Structures are given as C-alpha cells and as structure tokens.
A and B are shown apart, each in its own frame.
Chain A
C-alpha cells in the first residue's frame, strides 16, 4: 500500500495544495517554532533544568498538519511526545515546560483550550477522546475529539476498546497514530503481524487511511477529511501517519542500541520542515532573510516561555492536599496537618 502523499521529498507538489501560500508560511513557521522548543528542551534537560524529555523532532508535520485541520474548540488528547500538536491547539509552551519541570500547574491549559494534559500511560487515553467527543454530541455540539498516539499504543487492549466504542457509537473521533517506527526499542514489526496498522480499522467498521506523516500537505488533507466526517456525524476515522522520531525515545534512552545511523540518516533526508521549505522556494514564498527572522523570533518566543515557567514559585508543601478533590476530604485535612507538624524531607 502506498501512503497518501502530496509533497515529494524534493518539494514538488502532486495535485492541488490544501492551503494557500500564506497559510503554508504560517504552518512552516509553526513547525520551525516547535523544533526550536524541542531543541531548547533537550538542552535544558542536559543542564538539569528539565526532567526527562521526549523529543518529537521529525514528527512536526504530522502534529502541526493534523492540528491545522481542527477547529480551535475541538478536543485534543495526546501523549508526552505531542507537545507541538498540543501547543498548536492552544496549550502554552510555558505550561508544557512547567510540566516537564515537575509542577502540576503545567497540566492546566488556558480556560478556552480543550486539550488534556499529556497522557503518560501508553494507550489508555484514546478512549478518553471517544468519551469527550461523545459528550459533545450528546450535548448537541459539533465539537470533535482527536487522539494522538504512537504505533506502540496500538498493542494495548485499550486501543481495541477505544476503536470499538467509537465504531459502535459512531462517535466524532479522529484516531491519529504517528507510526514512528519504534516504541522505545521495539520495532513496529514486533507490535503487530498486520502489514499496516490501518488494517485494524476494518475490524472496527471505520475507514483507515495511510499517509506520509512527514508531508504537511497530506497530513492536512487526510485529517481534514476525517474531521469533516466526524463533524458531520459520520463517525470515526483511523489515520496511520508514517513518520520517524529522529531523537531517542527520551533523554534517558540510547537509541544506538536498537537502530542504525543509516536509518536515522535516511529519515533525516525526508525531514518534514526541509520539504516545505523546498516547496516554498519553488513557489516563490521563501527568502533567506524571512526564515532567519522567523527562526530568531521562534527562539525568542521559546526563551520567553522558559522565563515565564522558571519564574513560577513552587507550591507550598501542603498544596498537594488541595488538588486531589474539589474540596479537601477529612483524610486530606488530617494528612496536611501531619505534614505541617513533621515537615517533609529536605
């Protein structure tokens, strides 16, 4: 099976572009900004300013392109590797950073942003997207919900339950699987004997679409179709976006143990940002000064977010007892008093 592709690796276009030149420039800027965030996080982790970080380098088109097809008030439920997607749907870089710094306030996006904090358990969150979209339908809203997950998550039992519920109840759900080749060290071939993950969609009575996940335009196109179906009440869609994580699983991982440099180089040649740059150059929508300036302002925006996140004062020690319930229970009150009496470890 051939994945849907609109932009060739050399930037030539097959058919009509899904967005005009201005929008392409906006999305290119978003991808560059996301990569600046990614590279800043890797650097901060080395400096000890962030906890473990999971890079999304190489997956920018899959994330920015799919979110570009959503409406601002649609729900997004994503993983620890989906910061680009979450940000593009309205989550703040400063919140994402705060979360990685070990502060629960990072899990609270602005009030009008319908993005859940990143799911760290693999696979359990797809059914949440089913419930979110279902709730919108029950309340007469046409908001839809998109779940982002990786190839490894398709092996979890909850993937089956989420796909099955979405199919049975025809919920407005888009299942976006970023198949980046490896679940930590496990190659895709060890997750399923199916030739393509899209094969699974058949079993749940929904369309499955195979797409080049490093092609911004193809991602916009297939997600737009899926979102349109969901919003029209025609049910869920499963999208398998073929992509690659250029970095390790997280900053604690040594990817050289399970994959070759040649493979990484091969995928670097299919870089999603380079591809759009080549397209813009062919279309007269790019010049060097413009990219230099946008890269500079992207780095500036990330630095501002870092400053904002690092200037948030730590919680007072007893605040944990205020966060567990709407109003602290008697147990929370007693345990807060015990912590206050004895203090925590230094």
Chain B
C-alpha cells in the first residue's frame, strides 16, 4: 500500500501496464520528457524509453487514428488527450472507426485501446480546458466510457480498461487529480467496468453522480445529515454501459433520486439516469427526479464558473426539494 493521489494512482497503473505487457505503449502530446501537462505520465519516459512512451505531434485525430491502427495490429495503445476540449478533432476517429471496427468486420478485427482524457471544471482554467461533454461519448456506440472519482478506483479501473478487449474512453476529473490521497495497493488489481458503487449509505434520498461531482455530492450529504436527512451517494463510475440495476435498486430503496453532473443539462447523463428511474422505479418514487447540472452554456471562465459547476448549495437545495415534495 502507498498513499497516492488520483494522478499518482493513474501513473502507478500505467507503470504496471508498461512493465507487465510489452504490447503497451503510451501515445500523446508532451507525455514523454515533460510527463504530461498534468504530470500524470511523470517518469515513465525515463523508465521505458521513447518507443514505449511516445511524444506525438499536436494532432489529436492523428494520435487516436494511429493508435487505432496500432491496436488492430497487436499493440495495446494508451492515448492521452490533454483536455476534453481538445478531443473533438479526434471524435471522428472514435465515432467513425474506433467504435465500429468490431461490428464492421464481424469480430475479425478489434481495437483495444484506452483514450485517457482529463475533463471537467472547477479550477478556473482557460476556455476549452473545463469541458464536461462526456454524454457525447456515452452516446457513441462501440466504446465504453468510465470515470473514476478516487485514487483506488482510478488505478483499478484503468488497469481494467487496459485489459478490456474493447476501446475505453477513460475520463479523469482534473479537479480531483491532487485533491485527496488514499491508500492504494502497489500491485495490480482490477475494478470491474460497468459497475456503480455506493460511496455513502443513506435512506431518504439517492444522489447519483460521478467524477468530481461525487465529492460535491458527499459534501452535500454530510451537510444535510445535520438537517436530519439521510442521503445515499452512488458513484456511477461507468457511463457506458450504465449500471441500470444499481440505479433502479437505489431509487426503489429511497424513493427519491437526485442526479448531479457538471455537464450541460440537455441530453446529458442526468437525463439518462432520470429516464431509467422513471422507466423502472416510477411507482417507488415519492418525489420527481431532480437534475443538478451545468447549464446549456459554455463553461464560464474563472470569475463566474462557480455558478455553473454544481456545488454544495445547489445540490442541497435539490435534496431539500425532493424531501419536501
């Protein structure tokens, strides 16, 4: 066990994957000598060399497209895109090829690659550096989309993503990279993809979230316990596939559901979770499902960003509303 933050836990997973599997290569911008813009690949270039930790030209579509070809020919590439806002040029490769080759070739070819993308706001970054457009990827057939919220999950889910025979988009909450430390096993372990987890027990309301919003949801839950409200927090962890069974079980258990995301509201993950709850748990509900989300706006810059990214106040207000309904 070593106490690691989320960035270090990801580094540890990459280190193990590079050490244990010669097929694994890292490909991205500034990930080599510099160790990545968030230093997540720190030290790996020095340990494994430039043929395994590859600094690529500034071309996201080219990086993902080349990794796609590599994966088909037996390499296990792990791509780093610097920010989710810079992933859009690569989206064509993901939607048109990465997510399709298995179907297009009836399993004859497959592309087991991992695309790591830092996402989300709350750190007052420049425009394009705070995007939370994960729903676009969850909407894309043929890929898996996962988001860890703890160092332990980050390492275990990344190792599971690397071992997965299908392409995985692995979103990393920028705001949590260095926010908390946790004891993380030194050896390899897998946290299965596609499975949600209950991070706080409660009986009155189920709060569903993922990534950086898990921490905000827990803060709200703690605060609300002082008001006598027992709030359960579910970390969805996987956006595609969504763990519907866990969502439905929780909604039936508490009868109240609040979904928290920092993404735009329309056609987002919160809408999807709300739809699942009404389809399969409607008659258990004691209140309408609430969505606490970012707005259908560009993420505001630093001075007003806190009005966009949900936090304690807006989450608590939503929980109080479903309690009063």
Contact = CB atoms under 8 A, between A and B. Distances in A.
Counting chain A residues whose Cβ lies within 8 A of the other chain, the interface size class is 35 or more
A326 B241 contact: no
A127 interface: yes
25 contacts: A104-B105, A107-B104, A124-B61, A124-B92, A127-B62, A127-B69, A127-B93, A128-B66, A131-B66, A134-B66, A135-B69, A135-B72, A135-B73, A135-B74, A158-B61, A164-B57, A169-B54, A324-B102, A324-B103, A325-B102, A325-B142, A325-B165, A326-B110, A330-B244, A331-B242
A182 B166 CA distance: 38
Contacts of A324: 102-103, 141-142
B205 interface: no
B69 A134 contact: yes
B72 A323 contact: no
Contacts of B144: 325, 329
A303 interface: no
Contacts of B260: none
Interface string A115-131: 01101010011011111
A158 B51 CA distance: 23
A121 B96 contact: yes
Interface string B93-119: 100110001111111111000000000
B10 to A, nearest CB: 23
A109 interface: yes
Contacts of A164: 57, 59, 62
Contact of B70 (A104, A105, A117, A132): A132
A168 B56 CA distance: 9
Contacts of B92: 121, 124, 158
Interface string A156-168: 0110011011001
Which A-B residue pairs are the 9 nearest by beta carbons? A131-B69, A161-B62, A127-B65, A135-B73, A108-B108, A326-B165, A131-B66, A128-B69, A329-B241
Nearest to B99: A324
B57 to A, nearest CB: 6
Contacts of A320: 103
Interface of A: 75, 77, 104-105, 107-109, 111, 116-117, 119, 121, 124-125, 127-136, 138-139, 145, 157-158, 161-162, 164-165, 168-169, 320, 323-327, 329-332, 334
A329 B241 CA distance: 6
B93 A131 contact: no
B75 A127 contact: no
Given A124-B96, A131-B73, A139-B75, A104 B103 contact: yes
Nearest to A110: B108
A158 B106 contact: no
A75 B73 contact: yes
Interface residues of B, number: 48
Nearest to B165: A326
B255 to A, nearest CB: 23
Contacts of A165: 56-57, 59, 62, 66
Nearest to B72: A132
A168 B101 CA distance: 26
Interface in B124-158: 141-142, 144
B68 to A, nearest CB: 6
A306 B34 CA distance: 56
Interface of B: 23, 25, 51, 54, 56-57, 59, 61-62, 65-75, 89, 92-93, 96-97, 101-110, 141-142, 144, 164-166, 194, 240-245
Residue in A75, A107, A136, A326 whose Cβ sees the most chain B Cβ within 10 Å: A107
Contact of B104 (A77, A104, A111, A131): A104
A327 B71 CA distance: 18
A116 B62 contact: no
A132 B65 contact: no
Nearest to B107: A323
Contacts of B96: 121, 124
B70 to A, nearest CB: 4
A124 B241 contact: no
B69 A129 contact: yes
Contacts of A129: 69
Nearest to A315: B106
Given A127-B68, A136-B73, 9 more contacts: A116-B105, A117-B101, A124-B92, A128-B69, A134-B70, A158-B65, A327-B165, A329-B240, A330-B245
A134 B164 CA distance: 22
A334 B240 CA distance: 13
B68 A131 contact: yes
A169 B70 CA distance: 13
Given A128-B97, A161-B65, A323-B107, A135 B70 contact: yes
Contact of B65 (A75, A109, A162): A162
Given A129-B69, A168-B57, A107 B105 contact: yes
Contacts of B51: 138
A325 B103 CA distance: 8
Given A124-B65, A161-B65, A165-B56, A330 B243 contact: yes
A201 to B, nearest CB: 17
Interface centre among A77, A104, A119 (most CB of B within 10 A): A104
Nearest to A127: B65
A162 B144 CA distance: 26
Contacts of A119: 97
A124 B66 CA distance: 10
A109 B102 CA distance: 13
